[in-house]
Structures are given as structure tokens and as C-alpha cells.
Amino acid sequence: MLENLKPQAADKILQLMQLYREDPRDTKIDLGVGVYKDASGHTPIMRAVKAAEKKLWEEETTKSYTALSGDPAYGTAMKSLVLADSVNHARVAAIATPGGTGAIRQAFELARLANPDCTVWTSNPTWPNHLSILKFMGLPNREYAYFDEASCTVDFGAMMESLKDVKAGDLVLLHGCCHNPTGANLTLEQYGAVADLIIEKGALALVDIAYQGFGDGLEEDAAATRLLASKLPELLIAASCSKNFGIYRERAGCLMAMTETAEGMSKAQGSLNFLNRQNYSFPPDHGARLVTMILNDDALKADWMAELEEVRNGMLGLRQQLADELRQRTNSDRFDFIATHRGMFSRIGATPEEVQVMRDQFGIYMVGDSRMNIAGLNSKTVPLLAEAIAKTCK
């Protein structure tokens, strides 16, 4: 029977990683995979995570299961981190998931349970795995306009025009901050307008917040999600701890479902627990427990926040340096948007052919749509990238 299996298309980013590894050039630059790297090209373990792991090793007495939803303390900590006091937490159900991807998958499953005829609306462009999961699940997907390729900014007018076709019971996926792959974000006022439209249409919003703390700050990056929670009667939130805690391989994610009533929350919690049981029973705990320990310990939390700020400011510095280098080399402000984008990614508007030229001639590895990982740079490689872009993107 297994002979009937068909070859699956390779993930483009994983293919890019393999090409990069096989390139013998010392000057090659990997801007593909979405992982933070320091100036030496290493993805470090954060100080607070190290300290929490040591404490856990000394104090943990069992490896027994927690609960279908994960350790309740983790859900409580994540609600506080993402939502603060924007909504009564008694209205919010939560489950631990295997990373942010697990949270996204479970959110799609929950939406389908609630409305089998649900259409999921995603931004054009969006994280490719959103689309891949939807296709695999057989969920209808429609795109809404988002990014203006010419200015590399949000085309909000076109976005709102697209969303006029949203129907009651549809799911609208929004990026909470640091839009992937473009780096271009809505303003709070624009998020408010989107919330009003979602209420008018009777739709449900899903916020994917995978980079809290990587954009304008820990609190600032949560502002849009909190605004939506304060305005909407219901909301799904898929949060990831991979980036801001640097625990990629530990797969620590969380799905929250905010409901209109306490009774609705109880139903949502039961459904979330059910979905965990069907897909993987009990979620992984190690990464989630580290996050819980850090967020509930004043000293560890303060150190984590300080290091996260160092990471964020480092990326902002690289953005500004790249924008300045490109302004100097092109004698124009064409690439100034790079300094205004936020998060790990920017999409620079290069064609697939230009991306290929940069790879072949300069050893610059970025995704074909010209999404590049700013965190893959350092102060020494920024000029090399700027030279490649200036000579290639006419």
C-alpha cells in the first residue's frame, strides 16, 4: 500500500537551507530560515532559560503527564503575557500546543468544529505554512490584499475592500505584530477598523502572534491583540514562544479562545482539550514549563526581558544600517522602508530572477519572493548584502 504514496513537494525554505550548506563560498549569507542568530551566526540559549533549566533539573520530581490542556499555570502565564488586563481571563480558554504551528493547526480545527462551512481568510502574502496547512485540511481559503509591492508598505484600502466579502462564520487570520513575510504592520487605528468590520460581518478573528518582543517592545507588540480582545466578542490567539524565548526545538506554543460568556468559555475549553486528545493527547511540557517559571519569577523575568530588548535593538540597528548602506549605494530613498519594518523579516520587492542572481553571483540566500531574515545579518555582512541588492535590483 505504501507504494501508492506520491512524492511531496519539498519545503522551499528547507531546500534553501540545503543549498546554503552546499555552497563553499566563505562570503555566503543565509537570510532564509526564520531563526534568530547573534553576530557570530549562533542561535544562543537565553540566560533566563539556562537558569530556569538548571532550577528545573534540581527541583523536578516527575515526568508524568500534566493535563490535556497542558499545565494550567502555563495558560495563565501566557494569558497575562499576551492579553494583560485587556479582557477578563475567565472568558479565555487555553491549551498548550507543540509550537506556534500546533496552535495554528488547532485553531483551524476549532473553527471547523464551530462552522464546517468556514472559509479562512489570509493576507496576501502570509506565512506559507498557513496556506499549506489549510490545503492539507481541505479548508476553503481566500486571500485579502495586504502588501503593496511598489512601496513595500501595507495597502490598507485594498485590504478593507477585499474583506468586504467576508461572510458570517468565516475566520480572518491576522498577524499580531512583525508580519511574516513582509515586516509591514497595520497601525492600531487600522486594527480597530478591521475589528469593526469583523463585528459587522459576524466573522471570527484569529491572531497569529509569533514574534512578541521582536518589533517595538514586549508590551507594544501585544497592543494590537489586546485592542482586538477589548473590541471583539470572540477571538482566537495562536502564540509562540520559539522566538522570544529562543526555545525553538522545545516547541512551546499556546492557543487561546476568548468567548463572549463564561459558559461559552467552558465549551471552548472542552473542545480545545478534545482536539489535543485527538491529535497528540498531552502536549509537550518542558518548554512550556520553562516559560512559566520565567514569567512567574521576578528576577528571571527581568533578565529575560533585558536580553529580549538586546535582541530587538540589535535587529533594529541592522535594519537602520542596511537602509543607510542602500541609500548611499543607490543615491535614493527606495529602500528606506527596511528601517521602518519590524520583526525578523522584510520583503524587499526583488523579483525571483533578481533573487536568483543574488544567490548565484553574491552567495545571498533569501526566499524567492525576496523575504529576508534580518536576524541572519551582522554589521560585517550588511555591506555585502547592500552591495548585492544595489547591483542586482534595478
Domain limits, the chain: 10-45+301-392, 65-296
Taking the C-alpha atoms of residue 94 and residue 87, their distance in angstroms, rounded to an integer, is 14
Q: What angle do CA 280, 276, 74 make, to 5 degrees?
A: 105
Site of grid cell 520587492 = 349
**Can you tell me the distance from the alpha carbon of 212 to that of 239, in angstroms, rounded to the nearest whole number?**
9
C-alpha cell at 51: 537558569
Can you give the pLDDT at residue 300? 98
Residue 32: predicted pLDDT: 84
To which H or E segment does residue 235 belong? strand 235-240
Give start and end residues of each alpha helix (H) in 254-345: 262-279, 286-295, 298-330, 337-340
Please, which residues have CB within 8 angstroms of residue 26's CB and are 6 or more apart in sequence?
none
d(CA 26, CA 394): 26
Give the model's pLDDT for residue 19: 85
Read off the pTM: 0.94
Residue ranges of the chain whose pLDDT lies below 50: none
Copy the grid coordinates of residue 359: 544567490
Q: Where in the sequence numbering do the catalytic residues fall?
A: 127, 208, 210, 243
pLDDT confidence of residue 78: 98
Q: Give me the CATH topology for the region 65-296.
A: Aspartate Aminotransferase; domain 2 (3.40.640)
Interatomic CA distance for residues 309 and 75, integer angstroms: 24
Contact 21, 356 (CB under 8 A): no
For the domain made up of 10-45+301-392, give the CATH fold: Aspartate Aminotransferase, domain 1 (3.90.1150)
**Cβ neighbours of residue 392 closer than 8 Å, sequence gap 6 or more:** 350, 354, 357, 358, 361, 362
Please give the Cα distance from 9 to 26 (Å, whole number). 30
Cell triple for residue 65? 503527564
How would you write 335-375 as a 3-class SS string? CCHHHHCCCCEEECCCCHHHHHHHHHHHCEECCCCCEEEHH
